[in-house]
Chain A
Amino acid sequence: MPKVSMTVNGKAVSANVDARTLLVQFLREDLRLTGTHVGCDTSQCGCCVVHVDGKAIKSCTVLALTLEGANVTTIEGLAQDGKLHPMQEAFRENHALQCGFCTPGMIMTSVDIVNRKGNTLDEQTIRHELEGNLCRCTGYHNIVKAVAAGAEAMAK
Protein backbone atom coordinates (compact mmCIF):
# COMPACT_ATOMS: atom_id res chain seq x y z
CA MET A 1 0.00 0.00 0.00
CA PRO A 2 1.26 3.50 -0.81
CA LYS A 3 2.43 5.73 1.99
CA VAL A 4 1.13 9.18 2.80
CA SER A 5 2.54 11.77 5.17
CA MET A 6 0.93 15.01 6.27
CA THR A 7 0.60 17.32 9.22
CA VAL A 8 -2.69 17.07 11.10
CA ASN A 9 -3.42 19.59 13.84
CA GLY A 10 0.26 20.43 14.03
CA LYS A 11 1.40 16.83 14.38
CA ALA A 12 3.30 14.92 11.71
CA VAL A 13 1.49 11.71 10.76
CA SER A 14 2.09 9.05 8.16
CA ALA A 15 0.54 5.74 7.25
CA ASN A 16 0.30 3.16 4.52
CA VAL A 17 -3.17 3.41 3.03
CA ASP A 18 -5.30 1.80 0.37
CA ALA A 19 -5.25 4.18 -2.61
CA ARG A 20 -9.01 4.58 -2.30
CA THR A 21 -8.82 6.04 1.19
CA LEU A 22 -10.55 9.38 1.39
CA LEU A 23 -9.17 12.05 3.67
CA VAL A 24 -12.17 11.69 5.98
CA GLN A 25 -11.55 7.95 6.34
CA PHE A 26 -7.89 8.58 7.03
CA LEU A 27 -8.79 11.09 9.74
CA ARG A 28 -11.49 8.99 11.35
CA GLU A 29 -10.22 5.46 10.94
CA ASP A 30 -6.45 5.76 10.91
CA LEU A 31 -6.01 8.76 13.19
CA ARG A 32 -9.19 8.22 15.24
CA LEU A 33 -10.11 11.88 14.87
CA THR A 34 -13.84 11.27 14.79
CA GLY A 35 -14.93 14.88 15.16
CA THR A 36 -15.01 15.15 11.37
CA HIS A 37 -18.31 13.58 10.32
CA VAL A 38 -19.62 11.89 7.20
CA GLY A 39 -23.17 13.07 6.55
CA CYS A 40 -24.02 12.52 2.91
CA ASP A 41 -20.84 11.16 1.32
CA THR A 42 -21.81 13.03 -1.88
CA SER A 43 -20.11 16.41 -1.18
CA GLN A 44 -23.36 18.21 -0.44
CA CYS A 45 -23.80 18.38 3.34
CA GLY A 46 -20.50 19.83 4.58
CA CYS A 47 -20.30 17.77 7.81
CA CYS A 48 -16.81 16.65 6.75
CA VAL A 49 -15.30 20.12 6.18
CA VAL A 50 -11.69 20.49 7.34
CA HIS A 51 -8.97 22.97 6.43
CA VAL A 52 -6.20 21.96 4.05
CA ASP A 53 -3.36 24.47 3.83
CA GLY A 54 -5.68 27.05 5.34
CA LYS A 55 -8.67 26.49 3.07
CA ALA A 56 -11.96 24.74 3.81
CA ILE A 57 -12.54 21.59 1.77
CA LYS A 58 -14.86 18.60 1.93
CA SER A 59 -12.76 15.74 3.23
CA CYS A 60 -15.12 13.11 1.76
CA THR A 61 -14.14 14.25 -1.72
CA VAL A 62 -10.37 14.16 -1.68
CA LEU A 63 -8.00 11.20 -1.62
CA ALA A 64 -5.69 11.05 1.37
CA LEU A 65 -2.82 10.35 -1.04
CA THR A 66 -3.45 13.63 -2.86
CA LEU A 67 -2.60 15.52 0.32
CA GLU A 68 0.98 14.34 0.65
CA GLY A 69 2.81 17.02 2.61
CA ALA A 70 -0.35 19.04 3.29
CA ASN A 71 -1.22 20.85 6.49
CA VAL A 72 -4.62 19.73 7.75
CA THR A 73 -6.68 21.22 10.57
CA THR A 74 -9.74 19.41 11.92
CA ILE A 75 -12.28 20.44 14.52
CA GLU A 76 -10.04 18.81 17.15
CA GLY A 77 -7.32 21.30 16.26
CA LEU A 78 -9.28 24.47 17.01
CA ALA A 79 -9.41 24.55 20.81
CA GLN A 80 -6.11 25.64 22.37
CA ASP A 81 -4.96 24.81 25.91
CA GLY A 82 -8.37 23.43 26.86
CA LYS A 83 -10.10 26.64 25.83
CA LEU A 84 -12.72 26.62 23.09
CA HIS A 85 -11.99 28.53 19.88
CA PRO A 86 -14.05 31.77 19.75
CA MET A 87 -16.22 30.29 16.97
CA GLN A 88 -16.90 27.16 19.04
CA GLU A 89 -17.72 29.34 22.02
CA ALA A 90 -20.10 31.42 19.88
CA PHE A 91 -21.94 28.29 18.72
CA ARG A 92 -22.33 27.21 22.36
CA GLU A 93 -23.39 30.66 23.51
CA ASN A 94 -25.99 31.10 20.75
CA HIS A 95 -27.39 27.59 21.01
CA ALA A 96 -26.45 27.03 17.38
CA LEU A 97 -26.73 23.27 17.57
CA GLN A 98 -29.25 20.68 18.52
CA CYS A 99 -28.07 17.19 17.63
CA GLY A 100 -24.60 18.53 16.81
CA PHE A 101 -23.91 16.30 13.85
CA CYS A 102 -23.34 19.14 11.38
CA THR A 103 -21.57 21.34 13.93
CA PRO A 104 -17.91 20.41 13.26
CA GLY A 105 -18.35 21.16 9.56
CA MET A 106 -20.33 24.33 10.29
CA ILE A 107 -17.59 25.61 12.57
CA MET A 108 -14.74 24.76 10.20
CA THR A 109 -16.60 26.47 7.36
CA SER A 110 -17.36 29.48 9.56
CA VAL A 111 -13.72 29.96 10.54
CA ASP A 112 -12.86 29.77 6.83
CA ILE A 113 -15.47 32.44 6.06
CA VAL A 114 -13.86 34.76 8.62
CA ASN A 115 -10.42 34.04 7.17
CA ARG A 116 -11.65 35.08 3.73
CA LYS A 117 -14.24 37.75 4.47
CA GLY A 118 -13.08 39.37 7.69
CA ASN A 119 -14.63 39.83 11.12
CA THR A 120 -17.70 41.85 10.23
CA LEU A 121 -20.19 39.66 8.44
CA ASP A 122 -23.75 40.54 7.50
CA GLU A 123 -26.53 37.99 7.56
CA GLN A 124 -26.79 37.71 3.78
CA THR A 125 -23.07 36.98 3.42
CA ILE A 126 -23.17 34.32 6.14
CA ARG A 127 -26.21 32.57 4.66
CA HIS A 128 -24.68 32.61 1.20
CA GLU A 129 -21.31 31.35 2.40
CA LEU A 130 -22.94 28.51 4.37
CA GLU A 131 -24.54 27.14 1.19
CA GLY A 132 -22.42 24.03 1.32
CA ASN A 133 -23.36 23.08 4.89
CA LEU A 134 -26.68 21.49 5.76
CA CYS A 135 -28.32 21.35 9.20
CA ARG A 136 -31.33 19.09 9.54
CA CYS A 137 -32.55 19.99 13.01
CA THR A 138 -32.35 23.48 14.45
CA GLY A 139 -32.49 25.35 11.20
CA TYR A 140 -30.08 28.11 10.47
CA HIS A 141 -31.18 31.13 12.45
CA ASN A 142 -29.02 30.54 15.52
CA ILE A 143 -26.15 29.28 13.40
CA VAL A 144 -26.14 32.55 11.47
CA LYS A 145 -26.17 34.51 14.73
CA ALA A 146 -23.32 32.39 16.07
CA VAL A 147 -21.17 32.92 12.99
CA ALA A 148 -21.59 36.71 13.23
CA ALA A 149 -20.73 36.65 16.95
CA GLY A 150 -17.83 34.23 16.47
CA ALA A 151 -16.42 36.36 13.66
CA GLU A 152 -16.36 39.40 15.92
CA ALA A 153 -14.87 37.44 18.80
CA MET A 154 -12.10 36.19 16.53
CA ALA A 155 -10.92 39.79 16.07
CA LYS A 156 -10.09 40.09 19.77
Chain B
Amino acid sequence: MYQFTYHRVDSARKAINLAEKNEDAKFLAGGMTLLPTMKQRLASPSAIIDLNPAADKLAGIEQRGRAIVIGAMTRHYDVANSKIVQDAIPALADLAGMIGDPAVRHRGTIGGSVANNDPAADYPSAVLALNATVFTNKRKIAADDFFKGLFETALEPGELITKIVFPIPSKAAYMKFPNPASRYAMVGVFVARRGKEVRVAVTGAGSNGVFRASKFEAALTAKFHVKSLEGVNASADGLNSDIHADAAYRAHLIGVMCRRAVNKANGK
Protein backbone atom coordinates (compact mmCIF):
# COMPACT_ATOMS: atom_id res chain seq x y z
CA MET B 1 0.00 0.00 0.00
CA TYR B 2 1.26 3.47 -0.83
CA GLN B 3 1.23 6.12 1.86
CA PHE B 4 -1.79 8.32 2.39
CA THR B 5 -2.98 10.90 4.88
CA TYR B 6 -5.71 9.56 7.13
CA HIS B 7 -8.72 11.63 8.12
CA ARG B 8 -11.42 10.48 10.50
CA VAL B 9 -14.74 12.30 10.12
CA ASP B 10 -17.92 12.07 12.15
CA SER B 11 -20.31 13.71 9.68
CA ALA B 12 -21.02 13.78 5.97
CA ARG B 13 -20.48 17.53 5.92
CA LYS B 14 -16.93 17.21 7.29
CA ALA B 15 -16.20 14.44 4.80
CA ILE B 16 -17.30 16.59 1.89
CA ASN B 17 -15.34 19.64 3.11
CA LEU B 18 -12.19 17.54 3.32
CA ALA B 19 -12.77 15.98 -0.09
CA GLU B 20 -12.99 19.44 -1.63
CA LYS B 21 -9.56 20.27 -0.24
CA ASN B 22 -7.95 16.97 -1.28
CA GLU B 23 -8.32 16.27 -4.96
CA ASP B 24 -7.05 12.69 -4.85
CA ALA B 25 -8.84 11.78 -1.64
CA LYS B 26 -11.03 8.70 -1.43
CA PHE B 27 -13.93 8.10 0.92
CA LEU B 28 -13.51 4.90 2.94
CA ALA B 29 -16.79 3.16 3.74
CA GLY B 30 -16.64 -0.61 4.35
CA GLY B 31 -13.34 -0.83 2.50
CA MET B 32 -14.10 -4.30 1.15
CA THR B 33 -12.98 -3.28 -2.34
CA LEU B 34 -10.97 -0.12 -1.72
CA LEU B 35 -8.49 -1.65 0.74
CA PRO B 36 -7.68 -4.76 -1.36
CA THR B 37 -7.25 -2.45 -4.37
CA MET B 38 -4.86 -0.24 -2.40
CA LYS B 39 -2.94 -3.28 -1.13
CA GLN B 40 -2.38 -4.33 -4.72
CA ARG B 41 -1.28 -0.78 -5.49
CA LEU B 42 -4.01 -0.45 -8.09
CA ALA B 43 -5.23 2.61 -6.22
CA SER B 44 -3.07 5.21 -4.47
CA PRO B 45 -5.25 7.93 -3.00
CA SER B 46 -3.33 10.81 -1.40
CA ALA B 47 -5.82 10.88 1.45
CA ILE B 48 -8.38 8.56 2.99
CA ILE B 49 -11.50 10.10 4.47
CA ASP B 50 -12.84 7.48 6.85
CA LEU B 51 -16.64 7.60 7.02
CA ASN B 52 -16.91 4.87 9.67
CA PRO B 53 -17.15 7.25 12.65
CA ALA B 54 -20.10 8.85 10.78
CA ALA B 55 -21.66 5.44 10.08
CA ASP B 56 -24.51 5.87 12.56
CA LYS B 57 -25.63 9.09 10.90
CA LEU B 58 -25.36 7.69 7.39
CA ALA B 59 -26.90 4.27 8.03
CA GLY B 60 -30.46 3.14 8.54
CA ILE B 61 -33.41 1.54 6.82
CA GLU B 62 -36.94 2.89 6.73
CA GLN B 63 -40.09 2.68 4.67
CA ARG B 64 -41.41 5.98 3.34
CA GLY B 65 -44.66 5.61 1.47
CA ARG B 66 -44.16 3.04 -1.27
CA ALA B 67 -40.38 3.14 -1.10
CA ILE B 68 -37.55 1.78 1.04
CA VAL B 69 -34.85 4.26 2.01
CA ILE B 70 -31.42 2.84 2.83
CA GLY B 71 -28.61 5.01 4.21
CA ALA B 72 -25.30 4.83 2.37
CA MET B 73 -23.31 3.35 5.28
CA THR B 74 -25.80 0.53 5.89
CA ARG B 75 -23.89 -2.76 5.95
CA HIS B 76 -24.91 -5.69 3.74
CA TYR B 77 -25.63 -7.76 6.85
CA ASP B 78 -28.15 -5.20 8.08
CA VAL B 79 -29.95 -5.03 4.73
CA ALA B 80 -30.08 -8.84 4.49
CA ASN B 81 -31.55 -9.13 8.00
CA SER B 82 -33.85 -6.10 7.96
CA LYS B 83 -37.48 -7.03 8.59
CA ILE B 84 -38.51 -3.93 6.65
CA VAL B 85 -36.54 -4.95 3.55
CA GLN B 86 -37.52 -8.62 3.86
CA ASP B 87 -41.21 -7.67 3.93
CA ALA B 88 -41.19 -4.96 1.26
CA ILE B 89 -38.50 -6.08 -1.21
CA PRO B 90 -37.42 -9.61 -0.27
CA ALA B 91 -35.33 -9.80 -3.45
CA LEU B 92 -33.15 -6.98 -2.14
CA ALA B 93 -32.63 -8.70 1.22
CA ASP B 94 -31.77 -11.92 -0.65
CA LEU B 95 -29.24 -10.09 -2.78
CA ALA B 96 -27.54 -8.50 0.22
CA GLY B 97 -27.30 -11.94 1.84
CA MET B 98 -25.49 -13.32 -1.22
CA ILE B 99 -22.68 -10.76 -1.27
CA GLY B 100 -19.23 -12.15 -0.44
CA ASP B 101 -19.26 -14.08 2.84
CA PRO B 102 -20.53 -13.31 6.37
CA ALA B 103 -17.40 -11.38 7.39
CA VAL B 104 -17.53 -9.25 4.26
CA ARG B 105 -21.24 -8.57 4.78
CA HIS B 106 -20.52 -7.31 8.29
CA ARG B 107 -18.41 -4.47 6.90
CA GLY B 108 -19.33 -3.79 3.28
CA THR B 109 -21.83 -0.98 2.66
CA ILE B 110 -24.48 -0.33 0.03
CA GLY B 111 -23.16 3.17 -0.70
CA GLY B 112 -19.62 1.93 -1.16
CA SER B 113 -20.69 -0.85 -3.48
CA VAL B 114 -22.87 1.39 -5.63
CA ALA B 115 -20.27 4.20 -5.79
CA ASN B 116 -17.56 1.71 -6.78
CA ASN B 117 -19.69 0.16 -9.57
CA ASP B 118 -17.62 -2.98 -9.89
CA PRO B 119 -18.82 -4.76 -13.04
CA ALA B 120 -19.37 -7.96 -11.00
CA ALA B 121 -20.92 -6.38 -7.90
CA ASP B 122 -24.47 -7.34 -6.93
CA TYR B 123 -26.07 -4.08 -5.79
CA PRO B 124 -25.85 -2.17 -9.10
CA SER B 125 -28.30 -4.67 -10.63
CA ALA B 126 -30.83 -4.00 -7.85
CA VAL B 127 -30.46 -0.23 -8.18
CA LEU B 128 -31.02 -0.43 -11.94
CA ALA B 129 -33.81 -3.03 -12.01
CA LEU B 130 -35.75 -1.46 -9.14
CA ASN B 131 -35.36 1.98 -10.75
CA ALA B 132 -33.91 3.36 -7.54
CA THR B 133 -32.79 6.93 -6.98
CA VAL B 134 -29.31 7.68 -5.66
CA PHE B 135 -29.19 10.68 -3.32
CA THR B 136 -25.92 12.54 -2.86
CA ASN B 137 -24.91 15.60 -0.89
CA LYS B 138 -25.66 17.64 -4.03
CA ARG B 139 -28.55 16.07 -5.94
CA LYS B 140 -30.55 12.99 -6.74
CA ILE B 141 -29.61 10.77 -9.64
CA ALA B 142 -31.94 8.30 -11.39
CA ALA B 143 -30.55 4.77 -11.72
CA ASP B 144 -30.60 4.97 -15.52
CA ASP B 145 -28.30 8.01 -15.37
CA PHE B 146 -26.02 6.76 -12.60
CA PHE B 147 -23.96 3.85 -13.98
CA LYS B 148 -21.56 5.01 -16.68
CA GLY B 149 -19.29 2.04 -17.33
CA LEU B 150 -16.54 0.03 -15.60
CA PHE B 151 -16.06 1.54 -12.14
CA GLU B 152 -17.56 4.75 -13.59
CA THR B 153 -20.61 6.53 -12.22
CA ALA B 154 -22.24 9.93 -12.53
CA LEU B 155 -20.64 10.93 -9.20
CA GLU B 156 -18.38 13.95 -9.43
CA PRO B 157 -15.13 14.26 -7.47
CA GLY B 158 -15.95 14.88 -3.83
CA GLU B 159 -19.61 13.93 -4.27
CA LEU B 160 -20.88 11.54 -1.58
CA ILE B 161 -23.83 9.13 -1.73
CA THR B 162 -26.01 9.70 1.33
CA LYS B 163 -28.90 7.30 0.69
CA ILE B 164 -30.60 5.18 -1.94
CA VAL B 165 -34.37 5.09 -2.39
CA PHE B 166 -35.90 1.92 -3.80
CA PRO B 167 -39.52 2.00 -5.01
CA ILE B 168 -41.31 -1.15 -3.84
CA PRO B 169 -42.00 -3.49 -6.78
CA SER B 170 -44.98 -5.81 -7.07
CA LYS B 171 -42.66 -8.68 -7.97
CA ALA B 172 -38.90 -9.02 -7.98
CA ALA B 173 -36.13 -11.59 -7.67
CA TYR B 174 -32.37 -11.81 -8.01
CA MET B 175 -30.48 -14.86 -9.20
CA LYS B 176 -26.77 -15.12 -9.50
CA PHE B 177 -24.21 -17.59 -10.69
CA PRO B 178 -21.35 -16.82 -8.31
CA ASN B 179 -17.69 -17.32 -8.98
CA PRO B 180 -17.00 -20.16 -6.54
CA ALA B 181 -13.89 -18.50 -5.10
CA SER B 182 -14.70 -14.80 -4.88
CA ARG B 183 -18.54 -15.01 -4.70
CA TYR B 184 -18.69 -12.17 -7.18
CA ALA B 185 -21.36 -12.59 -9.84
CA MET B 186 -20.17 -14.30 -13.01
CA VAL B 187 -23.68 -13.42 -14.06
CA GLY B 188 -26.41 -11.95 -11.86
CA VAL B 189 -29.88 -11.04 -13.10
CA PHE B 190 -32.34 -8.88 -11.18
CA VAL B 191 -35.91 -8.80 -12.50
CA ALA B 192 -38.51 -6.40 -11.17
CA ARG B 193 -42.07 -5.59 -12.10
CA ARG B 194 -43.83 -2.47 -10.89
CA GLY B 195 -47.18 -1.53 -12.39
CA LYS B 196 -46.86 -2.46 -16.04
CA GLU B 197 -43.14 -1.82 -16.21
CA VAL B 198 -40.68 -4.72 -16.16
CA ARG B 199 -36.98 -4.07 -15.75
CA VAL B 200 -34.22 -6.65 -16.10
CA ALA B 201 -30.70 -5.70 -15.01
CA VAL B 202 -27.64 -7.84 -15.61
CA THR B 203 -24.42 -7.66 -13.62
CA GLY B 204 -21.16 -9.60 -13.91
CA ALA B 205 -21.53 -10.13 -17.64
CA GLY B 206 -21.14 -6.80 -19.43
CA SER B 207 -17.68 -5.52 -20.28
CA ASN B 208 -19.10 -2.07 -19.60
CA GLY B 209 -20.65 -2.95 -16.24
CA VAL B 210 -24.29 -3.41 -15.29
CA PHE B 211 -26.86 -3.06 -18.07
CA ARG B 212 -30.56 -3.55 -18.83
CA ALA B 213 -31.55 -6.48 -21.03
CA SER B 214 -34.12 -4.83 -23.29
CA LYS B 215 -35.14 -7.96 -25.21
CA PHE B 216 -35.97 -9.73 -21.96
CA GLU B 217 -37.79 -6.67 -20.66
CA ALA B 218 -39.97 -6.44 -23.78
CA ALA B 219 -40.86 -10.13 -23.64
CA LEU B 220 -41.72 -9.97 -19.92
CA THR B 221 -43.70 -6.76 -20.28
CA ALA B 222 -46.09 -8.60 -22.62
CA LYS B 223 -46.57 -11.25 -19.95
CA PHE B 224 -44.54 -11.67 -16.76
CA HIS B 225 -44.09 -15.40 -17.11
CA VAL B 226 -41.14 -17.62 -17.86
CA LYS B 227 -42.92 -18.84 -21.02
CA SER B 228 -42.58 -15.34 -22.47
CA LEU B 229 -38.83 -15.95 -22.57
CA GLU B 230 -39.02 -18.92 -24.95
CA GLY B 231 -36.70 -18.17 -27.84
CA VAL B 232 -35.33 -15.03 -26.14
CA ASN B 233 -31.55 -15.17 -25.97
CA ALA B 234 -28.87 -12.71 -24.90
CA SER B 235 -26.23 -11.72 -27.41
CA ALA B 236 -22.58 -12.37 -26.54
CA ASP B 237 -21.54 -9.03 -28.04
CA GLY B 238 -20.04 -6.75 -25.42
CA LEU B 239 -19.87 -9.44 -22.73
CA ASN B 240 -16.80 -10.30 -20.67
CA SER B 241 -14.52 -13.21 -21.49
CA ASP B 242 -12.07 -14.37 -18.87
CA ILE B 243 -10.61 -17.54 -17.36
CA HIS B 244 -13.89 -18.19 -15.54
CA ALA B 245 -16.28 -17.97 -18.49
CA ASP B 246 -16.25 -16.79 -22.09
CA ALA B 247 -18.77 -14.35 -23.54
CA ALA B 248 -20.95 -17.06 -25.12
CA TYR B 249 -21.24 -18.88 -21.80
CA ARG B 250 -22.10 -15.65 -19.98
CA ALA B 251 -24.76 -14.91 -22.61
CA HIS B 252 -26.24 -18.35 -21.97
CA LEU B 253 -26.16 -17.76 -18.21
CA ILE B 254 -28.09 -14.50 -18.61
CA GLY B 255 -30.98 -16.48 -20.06
CA VAL B 256 -30.78 -19.16 -17.38
CA MET B 257 -30.55 -16.71 -14.48
CA CYS B 258 -33.34 -14.56 -15.91
CA ARG B 259 -35.68 -17.54 -16.21
CA ARG B 260 -34.89 -18.63 -12.66
CA ALA B 261 -35.43 -15.10 -11.39
CA VAL B 262 -38.81 -14.80 -13.12
CA ASN B 263 -39.91 -18.13 -11.67
CA LYS B 264 -38.77 -17.06 -8.23
CA ALA B 265 -40.51 -13.69 -8.53
CA ASN B 266 -43.69 -15.56 -9.47
CA GLY B 267 -43.32 -17.76 -6.40
CA LYS B 268 -42.38 -20.88 -8.36
**A contact residues vs B (CB 8 Å cutoff):** 2, 18-20, 22, 41-44, 46, 49, 52, 55-58, 61-63, 65-66, 68, 109, 112-113, 116, 129, 131-133
Contact = CB atoms under 8 A, between A and B. Distances in A.
B181 A68 contact: no
Given A19-B6, A20-B4, A55-B77, A63 B103 contact: no
A61 B6 contact: no
A59 B107 CA distance: 11
Contacts of A112: 102-103
Interface stretch (B45-53, B202-210, B238-246): B45-53
Query: Taking chain A's interface residues, is the majority helix, strand, or loop, or is none over half, making it mixed?
Result: mixed
A64 to B, nearest CB: 10
19 contacts: A19-B3, A43-B36, A44-B182, A55-B77, A55-B106, A56-B102, A58-B104, A61-B35, A61-B107, A62-B107, A63-B48, A63-B50, A65-B50, A66-B31, A112-B102, A131-B102, A132-B101, A132-B102, A132-B103
B31 A131 contact: no
A30 to B, nearest CB: 16
B5 A46 contact: no
B51 to A, nearest CB: 9
Interface residues of B, number: 27
B62 to A, nearest CB: 22
A98 to B, nearest CB: 21
Interface residues of B: mostly helix, strand, loop or mixed?
A: mixed
B100 A132 contact: yes
B181 A44 contact: yes
B102 A62 contact: no
A61 B32 contact: yes
A65 B8 contact: yes
Nearest to A131: B101
A62 B112 CA distance: 14
